[in-house]
Chain A
Amino acid sequence: MLSIKNLHASIDGKEILKGINLEVKAGEIHAIMGPNGSGKSTLSAVLAGREEYEVTEGEIIFNGKNLLELSPEDRAREGVFLAFQYPIEIPGVSNVNFLKTAINEIRAYKGLAPMEAKDFLARLKEKQKLVELDGKLANRSVNEGFSGGEKKRNEIFQMAMLEPKLAILDETDSGLDIDALRIVAGGVNKLKSKDNATIVITHYQRLLDYIVPDVVHVLYNGKIVKTGPKELALELEEKGYDFIKEEVNA
């Protein structure tokens, strides 16, 4: 589904990603872990199409398409979803109205007619339940005045509504208490199918107790330096990132 080859990216002339290779197949959950400053958020920003980052080398192929040639909206329409580490507040734009517009633009891209109002409402109700999001929140302006946990839940709610093929969760666990974490993880697990894939980007192992990855990658200094089964996350938790640094620098 996703194939990243030798990806180099920089911002303001400073190289952050220094040759990333990653293969993600449908049905899989990948965790990307790493210390602060290793390039985790840069990777998610490059995947989503943030224009501040310049890709200097390498390629990203998503379901046969060159992702780097697509605009952020076309990536979303192809089925890439980024759950933001810091979701943006948009006063005056209602969550519901925004999602309706998003769904219908994605449908138009695929040559489909706008969604029937009753189908949309049904989906809204179902997915709200999935992430235990209060109906009132769904009707409010996007993220405006939401608590940290509500914002993260709203990201997963949007993901549920848009039904992406590839979801990238960027530090979705940061700032979440254990109840919110359980709800968010529960939402992600319920949305998992053999046709979609998830990349969980995180600093801590905690989230991976709830979202169990098939593969764990360690990102350090702009490169994936270690790949292993889910137990690798536990090892990292136990030993800290220093052992990775020592291994790399040895």
Chain B
Amino acid sequence: MEAAVKTNTLKDRLYSEFETVKNSLLGSLQIREQAMESFLKQGIPNRKSEEYKYVNIDLVLKGEFAFSTDKTTTCEQIKHTKFLKDAIDIVIENGVFIEDLSNIKSLPKGLQVINITDASSNETFSKQYSKYADVNADTFIALNTALAKGGVFIHVAKGTVIETPIHIINISSTKENLIINSRNLIVVEPNAQVKFIESFETVDSSAKTFNNSMTEIVIDENAIVDYYKIQDENENGYLINTTQVYQKKQSVFSTNTITLSGSLVRNNLNIVLDDEHIETHLNGLYLTSGNQVVDNHTLVDHRKPNCNSNELYKGIIEDKSSATFNGKIYVRKDAQKTNAFQSNKNILLSDEGTINTKPQLEIYADDVKCSHGTSTGKLDADKIFYLRARGLSETSAKKLLMHAFASEVVDTLKIEALREYVEEKIAKRFE
């Protein structure tokens, strides 16, 4: 176990961690050095950082943090996290892929799952790794690229259709405060079809985890990819989750980010549509309570003509929690005939809760259809009365209305077992 260095600043400690990992095989030394340099320039964001002003990251990172731990969970302990009966389970514990806990012995033809630390000899990996996420665009991309030492590389070969969902299970489990930088690369080749679920959970943890988790997804021509996220860590969980997606011609990408718990969750979802006739669906649902902070930043970059993107994020904010939605859409000069739609709707259940919502559309093409809308309100008193007048208690009337509000997003989950799991979780939340 590495002991955390106690006296130096966090930046210094991150730098010394860099010295220990920089020669590992994950990515080239050059990539890592550039990333570290960029991180040192950008620094750890504070309240004055425009992109992170609603999340107190510098406060979260006060105190001592280690970079790795001996803690290992048992098969029995994580049983409940494998909530899909028929799935290819990939377990990543504290940012490290654990093959023993996973279920990848007999994979369908055309599917490869490789520990990312063993992937550098793979030609596709070397070609694609760290190619899409720009270290200079975001400090956590830089930090992750500099320090990542675990995760998986998933390769779906040309024309492969995988019916069984692939479930990436991120488990935080530690007895001392821990900074995690986990990194995945997913490459889906032309005409392939695949569904992913990525979940984040805390198991048997008595200290904070700060998980800077990042996934790059490359979707080649005509491929269809679903990517669903369930973020359900406990109050020890602090998560920065970056997803960098690159779509090629005629590909379809559908994603849904469901945030149920965790002290802090920041999602950076960046999608580049870099050819014609691409379809992108982004949905999100956040149910916040207590002192929770959830911040969804999305970026949809329309670079070429004739593409469609559709975005719907909904949130229910309780107690003193705070939620942020920041949705950027770029429609570049070449991207004529773009259809880009965005909507963010919120229900604020308490006077102390906060919602910040900021749609940002930048349109440089002149023949496009784009719209955005945002609304924040309380539960409708007329609806509550109508339900009560039929015999429903006030509580169950509210529950029914919240469930109805959430269902617009939940219904987009195309895996039935997952939808049922999420619905059950939501029902429990509204108890």
Contacts and interface: CB of A to CB of B under 8 A. Distances in A.
A72 B405 contact: no
**What does DSSP make chain A's interface, helix, strand, loop or mixed?**
helix
Interface string B379-420: 000110111111111101000110111011000000000000
Contacts of B393: 73, 105
Contact of A93 (B382, B388, B389, B400): B400
B401 A90 contact: yes
Given A73-B388, A90-B383, A105 B401 contact: no
B388 A71 contact: yes
Contact of B404 (A77, A87, A93): A93
Given A73-B391, A105-B396, A92 B404 contact: yes
Contact of B387 (A71, A82, A98, A162): A98
Contacts of B387: 90, 98, 102
A202 B405 CA distance: 35
Secondary structure call for the B interface? helix
Interface residues of B, number: 20
B389 A82 contact: yes
B407 A87 contact: no
B393 to A, nearest CB: 5
Nearest to B400: A93
Given A73-B393, A92-B408, A102-B391, A84 B386 contact: yes
Interface string A35-72: 00000000000001111000000000000000000011
B407 A106 contact: no
A62 B228 CA distance: 53
Contacts of A77: 391
Interface in A60-115: 71-73, 75-77, 81-82, 84, 87-88, 90-93, 97-99, 101-103, 105-106, 109
Contacts, number: 71
A152 to B, nearest CB: 14
Contacts of A103: 391
A93 B406 CA distance: 11
A9 to B, nearest CB: 16
A202 to B, nearest CB: 19
Interface in A154-206: 158, 162
A101 B400 contact: yes
Contact of A76 (B390, B396, B405): B390
A88 B401 CA distance: 13
Contact of B385 (A72, A91, A102): A72
Contacts of A109: 391
A88 B383 contact: yes
Contacts of B405: 92
Interface string B201-237: 0000000000000000000000000000000000000
Contacts of A51: 385
Contact of A91 (B386, B389, B404): B404
A48 B390 CA distance: 10
Contact of A48 (B389, B396, B408): B389
B391 A50 contact: no
A88 B382 contact: yes
Given A92-B405, A92-B407, A93-B401, A73 B386 contact: no
Given A50-B385, A72-B385, A88-B382, A101 B392 contact: yes
A48 B396 CA distance: 18
Q: Which of B391, B396, B407 is the most central at the interface, judged by chain A CB atoms within 10 Å of its CB?
A: B391
A98 B391 contact: no
Given A49-B388, A90-B387, A92-B407, 14 more contacts: A51-B385, A72-B388, A72-B389, A76-B388, A76-B391, A88-B383, A90-B401, A90-B404, A91-B404, A93-B401, A98-B390, A99-B390, A101-B400, A105-B392
10 contacts: A49-B388, A71-B394, A73-B391, A73-B394, A76-B389, A88-B386, A92-B408, A93-B404, A97-B400, A105-B391
9 closest Cβ contacts across the A-B interface?
A92-B404, A76-B391, A88-B386, A72-B388, A102-B390, A106-B391, A102-B391, A73-B388, A93-B404
